[in-house]
Structure 1
Amino acid sequence: MLEGCISWPESVAARYRTEGYWTGEVLGDRPDDDAGRHARTAVITPDRTLTYGELDLAADRLAAGLRARGIAAGDRIVVQLPNGADMVVVCLALFRLGALPVFALPAHRAVEITHLVEASEAVAYVCADRVLDCDHRELARQVLVRTVGLAHVLVAGDPGPFTALADVDADPVPLSAPDPADVALFLLSGGTSGPPKLIPRTHADYTYQLRASARLCGVGRDSRYLCALPMGHNFALACPGVLGTLRAGGTAVLAPAPTPEECFPLIERASVTVTSLVPPLVPLWLEAAEWTDGDLSSLALLQVGGSRLDPATAKQVPDRLGCTLQQVYGMAEGLLNFTRPDDPEEVILHTQGRPLSPADELRVIREDGVDAAPGEVGELYTRGPYTLRGYYRAAERNRTRFTEDGYYRTGDLVRRTPAGDLEVVGRTNDVVNRGGEKVPCQEVEEHLLADPRIVAAAVVALPHPLMGEQTCACVVVRGGEPEPTLRQVQASLRERGVAAYKLPDRLVVLPRLPLTGVGKVDKRAVRDSLAG
């Protein structure tokens, strides 16, 4: 196990291997018994199609090219690419080389990328040339100034002063297969306190997640999965997502954006059978389905996760989109819960499902420390064959987020039904769940306080009919300073390199912030005053 990572106890690991959860599989390998795989379609994008043979060759050549440039097994690589064939090729190449991708999110900017490079000690950053309004070459220049050890910037498209990803190419060479117990990749925590923590996922635990979720969702060789959400998210990557679909021999269809305008033509053209969305996108798809001339009849399963989907919207999915709805509740740290396609309507509409694995262990702990009975609310604790035992190099955080016997404290408040399904009712941690994007309140507050006009700040979640929650920044302005506008505050945060999804949706200027008896900001009182 990589230094700085926490392993499962050997007795537990041995049980997972004996019971078949962990096998000898590693990410990026090729099945030996899949006749005809070479010629089948693996990847479809709006402008490119790859067979499995073409995908394998591209990944092998990239892996050899990276190796020739000095990138080796165990090296960390920050990857920030839009949905497309390059993203799939890079993933497979890194898995086969044994280098470890650190998956940045599309909205991340200089602050976040700098943190990821420093926290992982990355030697390379892989990005696109430009995505929408962001020139990632300029972003890379800023990161290089702020960090040490970043030796390579590889750019898909026009590289500017850096190296073109297309030029990282060499004849394939034999590569040593990773050990299944090795770390394979890093996902990101929701960043509930400060910048996101790195989540190490091993080949053994992640391949189990891929196999089990594909089996539960009925994904196989005839499946065509539309990746509408960013592929760097665990949901779109591996629940079963792109990697699970490819592992099952199906076809991954990648959309540049999750809008109906981008996705509906791909559903028709590629005969997509399954896709996944976050709740704010579902009403947009339902509305667009009313006027589209496109043929969506191939779509059989819509997964919705990232935040709670309201039952009224959920009820419309089968009639308006003509497919089965599956609610998904999980976390990049591991545990996944799914409603099953054959569940009663009441379960699909009102719960977030039950655990993926028979080996998932769950406890629901009331505020008084007692295990909650069915129907009672408590914080969800979990451990299992694909749930981490500790964040990477985060000893202090691990002491508070993990129990001595290995349970991960999710920070989510849930209610468990007598049948074992979970209803997510809230969170204990200080984060805004903005349409599935987790906005860490403390981090945004620190950036707000860097504005010389602001002397105190509290960021809270407020209800929003579409996003589920919106971010509200409550600030106290320095005496004699004019009150800033929301647009001015957003501009100031952008100048600091803060990602767009973290910008406050609402600004409230207060004369003072209410405090608790121990002198901390009383955020409950803040929220109550705004609700009133």
Structure 2
Amino acid sequence: MHIGGIYFSLLMPLSAGATTVITDIWDPQAVVPFLVDAKITYLGGGPAFQFGVLDALKQQSRHFAELRIVRSGSTTIPQLLVTQVAETYGVSLGVMWGMTEGVCSFTRPDDPPGWATVSVGRPGPGTETDLRADHPISDARPARLYVRGGSLCLATLGRDDGQLTELSDWYDTGDLAVPDGRGGIRLLGRAVDRIGSTFMIPVNDVESALLEHAEVQDVALVGYPDGHGGELACAVVVPRADAPALRDLRDHLTGQGMTEWYLPSRLELFTALPRNEGGKVRKDLLRQWLEDGQARW
């Protein structure tokens, strides 16, 4: 039911007269030879899948000889992915944001290089976005993103409670965003995943910087109560050969010019992060673990 799979695996190839290459399992080491042999020209997938392909290509010393377009989709895109796509494939990473409920925005070929790090692009035809806030909008104080358009579904049906909710006008996406300066939007995360109170920590910027640390293989920044009605940031890290110390991570971020209140005050190490079928980190599970110490994955 995910809209990305329907669009890019079925509708787009059919409309372009192209062939879709699909694998029924996700094992990057096994999938990469299959994709190389298929001579793919377009590669789409969320950040976790793109990183998996890049790592497998490097380990197997393979490359995609005819690849021309690489596109990813998520609320936020790590800077490291944008850099590695450009270095490995020689093309700029394109990104899109969308919802199964409908509507989408996407970057264009005329956007500046590296634009995927600061924007999910402009809405498609027939789609409108509205940023709502009762304060001046900034990265520290983003707005709530509302959308409407011809592709928005007419209603949603609760999976567990069976409740039907009609969508008659603007739809609250649950995302936090700011204008990107080119008629599009820069997403700063989900409202439920925000860290901070009046001012929020730019979670994607911090995670992107931490991914550049030599001892960090994967990372998620998650909020936890400070015991005084506020909230602090915890870095949940999957380490490489050597595990980093919290001080190392804080020094790394400070060296990139980040202010004190962006820095994590807690570090937890895991062998893997919990992800859903779309490759997105289940931060709700991580928050629960930080609260009660019980892993649910």
Q: TM-score, normalised by structure 1?
A: 0.36
**Shift in Å at residue 338 of structure 1?**
1.1
Q: CA deviation at 1:419?
A: 1.1
Name which of 187, 190, 196 aligns with 1:427: 190
Go from structure 1 to structure 2 and tell me whether the alpha carbon gap of 1:509 and 1:339 turns closer, same or farther (over 3 Å shift). Answer: closer
Cα gap change, 1:417/1:376 in structure 2, threshold over 3 Å: closer, same or farther? farther
Which residue in 2 is equivalent to 1:312?
80
Match of 2:34 in 1: 266
SS at 1:252's partner residue?
A: coil
Equivalent runs, 1:258-297 vs 2, <5 Å: 258-297=26-65
User: Alpha-carbon deviation of 1:508?
Assistant: 4.2
1:359-407 Cα shifts (integer Å, max 9, x gaps) = 21111001x2x795999721111111111232137896737xx5xx601
Identity of aligned residues (%): 23
Note closer, same or farther for the CA distance 1:472–1:262 as it changes in structure 2 (3 Å cut): farther
Alignment match of 1:248 (pick from 9, 13, 16): 16
* Equivalent residue runs for 1:103-142 within 5 Å: none
- Please say if residues 374 and 418 of structure 1, whose CA atoms lie closer than 8 Å, have aligned partners that are also in contact: no
Contact 1:290 1:320 in 2 (8 A): no
The amino acid of 2:143's aligned partner reads G
Unaligned runs of 5+ in 2: 195-206, 212-216, 226-280
Q: Aligned residue for 1:411?
A: 174
- The alignment status of 1:237 with 2:2, answered yes or no, reads no
**In the alignment, what sits opposite 1:329?**
97
Alpha-carbon RMSD: 3.8
Unaligned runs of 5+ in 1: 1-186, 188-232, 432-462, 475-500, 512-532
The answer on whether the counterparts of 1:299 and 1:322 sit within 8 Å (CA) in structure 2 is no
Q: Which amino acid aligns with 1:362?
A: T
Q: 2:289 aligns with which of 494, 497, 507?
A: 507
**Contact 1:363–1:371 under 8 Å retained in 2:** no
> Structure 1's 470 and 263: CA in aligned 2 closer, same or farther, altered over 3 A?
farther
Aligned mates of 1:419, 1:379 — CA distance in 2: 19
**From 151, 157, 164, the counterpart of 1:386:** 151
- 242-251 vs 325-334, which moves further: 242-251
In the TM superposition, residue 305 of structure 1 has moved relative to its aligned partner by 1.1
- The Cα offsets for residues 238-287 of structure 1, whole Å up to 9 and x where unpaired, read as 1x333321233210111233443233222222111112121123333333
Contact 1:375 1:417 in 2 (8 A): no
Number of matched pairs: 217
Larger radius of gyration: 1
2:183 counterpart letter in structure 1:
G
Q: Is the 8 A contact 2:102 2:152 kept in 1?
A: yes
Distance 1:371 1:361, change over 3 A: farther
Alignment CA distance shift 1:510-1:236 (3 Å): closer
Q: Which amino acid aligns with 1:234?
A: I
Instruction: Give the structure 2 partner of residue 363 of structure 1.
Output: 130
**Do 2:97 and 2:120's aligned partners in 1 also have CA atoms closer than 8 Å?**
yes
**Distance verdict in 2 for CA 1:266–1:407, change over 3 Å:** same
Query: Residues 88-167 of structure 1 correspond to what in structure 2 (within 5 A)?
Result: none
Provide the C-alpha distance between the structure 2 equivalents of 1:275 and 1:508, rounded to a whole number of angstroms: 36
Name the SS for the 1:382 alignment partner: strand
- Judged with a 3 Å threshold, the aligned counterparts in structure 2 of structure 1 residues 407 and 267 are, in CA distance, closer, same or farther, namely same
